[in-house]
């Protein structure tokens, strides 16, 4: 398992001579709105911008960098002048429009689960496996949010030897189920405080002051869909079919940012904890938060709104001489979705894998 860390390239993108035409499908959703936020925060060189959503949202206005843009319904010719088409509207929409994006010469960066396990579609966390982008055929998949947060904490430790097994338990915010689920948590909390019975409609069970198995279907092995994704996406991203992974994924009454308790077993002995801390703190996109004296470790309210995955509560597993335990929190809508998508576009530009359709002979260089 070779991990190739990369540094954030947004400062270099600011100096790029080219600008890039961006299309966002699902622009009015929670992830779509965060994509716009990330593009602005990272000074991405956006030239033309087109925003797409359902027919019900067509005609609405969205402001980006002081300019108003009109939401459009997607059409077969929507991607003709697009360089990057960032999709966050669900797997069905992604499947419906894939051929139109690819035939137009645009690159689809997809936040759904539609293509993650397709052999011809790279599944990419840019800090970990950016070289996989070189093998794309017009479509690149953003991994599951829980997989991203976990691997940002695990991948930096591969330098200490082969990782044999990962055991992870997740504490997943309702943001993973969308804006309506976030509103449902707020409404149910108010109902609970008034002594009223919560009435779930978005999620299958009451979520205020409660938690339950992740709201995805359970397969014949007994794993829910989220757990199954973490198992198999990890193998693909790390290029390691032998790594053993098991997951327990739980929905918790937190608005935003997922947290995970992770046990990492090495094949031959575990590294010293000070070296683990150094490896994590020096890895791009990870912030070490490990204060034993004050019992201050990663928390979702501190991860919310941040680009970094917070990692801490690092300790030796007293039951296994080859394993360590740690805890991580990361913003599901940012590094778990929108940020990773934008970083994929940045990495493609940095690697010279895409050329702006409006460049008029001017290429990207670093």
Residue 45's pLDDT is what?
A: 96
Percent of the chain with pLDDT over 90: 89
Mean of pLDDT values over 66-71: 96
Q: What pLDDT band is residue 17 in, cutting at 50, 70 and 90?
A: low
Mean of pLDDT values over 265-274: 97
Following DSSP, what letter does each residue of 26-50 receive, concatenated? TTTSHHHHHHHHHHHHTT--EEEEE
258 included as an active-site residue? yes
Q: Is the pLDDT of residue 6 over 90?
A: no
Helices (H), the chain: 10-14, 30-41, 91-103, 145-154, 179-193, 225-238, 273-281, 300-303, 339-350
Indicate the pTM of the whole model: 0.93
Residue 335 in contact with residue 148, Cβ under 8 Å?
Answer: yes
Residue 34's pLDDT is what?
A: 96
- Length of the chain in residues, anyone? 366
Percent of the chain with pLDDT over 70: 93
Cα angle value 138/142/144 (rounded, 5°):
150
Give per-residue pLDDT as tens, 305-333. Answer: 999 999 999 999 999 999 999 999 999 99
Residue 359's pLDDT is what?
A: 59
Residue 18's pLDDT is what?
A: 87
Following DSSP, what letter does each residue of 179-213 receive, concatenated? HHHHHHHHHHHHHHHTTPPP--SSSSS--TT--EE
For 158, phi and psi rounded to 5 degrees? -65, -20
Would you call 77 helix, strand, or coil by DSSP? Answer: coil
What domains are defined for the chain?
A: 10-143+336-350 (3.40.50.720), 147-332 (3.30.360.10)
Q: Is the pLDDT of residue 210 over 90?
A: yes
Q: What pLDDT band is residue 364 in, cutting at 50, 70 and 90?
A: very low
Q: What pLDDT band is residue 358 in, cutting at 50, 70 and 90?
A: confident
- Count other C-beta atoms under 10 Å from residue 60's C-beta: 14
β-pairing verdict for 244-251 and 163-172: parallel
Q: What is the separation of C-alpha 98 from the centre of its chain, rounded to a whole number of angstroms?
A: 20
Mean of pLDDT values over 203-225: 95
Residue 12's pLDDT is what?
A: 54
The catalytic position among 136, 214, 258, 313 is: 258
Q: Is the pLDDT of residue 81 over 90?
A: yes
The catalytic position among 145, 214, 249, 313 is: 145
Distance CA 240, CA 185 (A): 38
Q: Average pLDDT of the chain? A: 93
Residue 352 in contact with residue 363, Cβ under 8 Å?
Answer: yes
């Amino acid at each position: 398992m070779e991990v190739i860390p990369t540094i954030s390239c947004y400062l270099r993108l600011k100096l790029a001579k080219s600008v890039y035409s961006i299309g966002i499908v699902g622009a009015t959703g929670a992830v779509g709105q965060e994509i716009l936020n990330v593009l602005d925060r990272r000074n991405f060189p956006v030239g033309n911008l087109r925003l797409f959503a359902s027919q019900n949202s067509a005609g609405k206005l969205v402001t980006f960098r002081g300019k108003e843009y009109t939401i459009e319904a997607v059409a077969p010719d929507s991607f003709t002048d697009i360089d990057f088409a960032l999709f966050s509207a669900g797997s069905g929409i992604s499947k419906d429009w894939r051929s139109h994006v690819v035939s137009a010469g645009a690159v689809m960066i997809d936040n759904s689960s539609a293509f993650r396990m397709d052999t011809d579609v790279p599944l990419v966390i840019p800090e970990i496996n950016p070289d996989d982008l070189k093998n794309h055929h017009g479509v690149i998949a953003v991994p599951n949010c829980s997989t991203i947060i976990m691997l940002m904490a695990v991948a930096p430790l591969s330098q200490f030897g082969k990782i044999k097994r990962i055991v992870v338990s997740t504490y997943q915010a309702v943001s993973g189920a969308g804006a309506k689920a976030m509103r449902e948590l707020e409404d149910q909390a108010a109902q609970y405080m008034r002594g009223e019975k919560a009435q779930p409609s978005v999620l299958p069970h009451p979520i205020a002051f409660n938690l339950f198995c992740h709201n995805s279907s359970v397969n014949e092995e007994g794993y829910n869909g989220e757990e199954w994704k973490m198992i198999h996406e990890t193998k693909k991203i790390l290029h390691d079919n032998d790594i053993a992974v098991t997951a327990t994924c739980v929905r918790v009454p937190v608005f935003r940012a997922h947290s995970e308790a992770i046990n990492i077993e090495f094949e031959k002995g575990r590294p010293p904890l000070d070296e683990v801390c150094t490896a994590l703190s020096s890895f791009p996109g990870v912030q070490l938060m490990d204060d034993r004296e004050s019992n201050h470790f990663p928390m979702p309210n501190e991860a919310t709104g941040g680009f970094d995955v917070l990692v801490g509560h690092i300790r030796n597993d007293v039951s296994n001489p080859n394993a360590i335990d740690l805890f991580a929190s990361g913003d599901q809508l940012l590094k778990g979705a929108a940020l990773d998508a934008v970083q994929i576009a940045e990495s493609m530009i940095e690697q010279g894998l895409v050329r702006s359709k409006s460049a008029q002979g001017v290429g990207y260089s670093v």
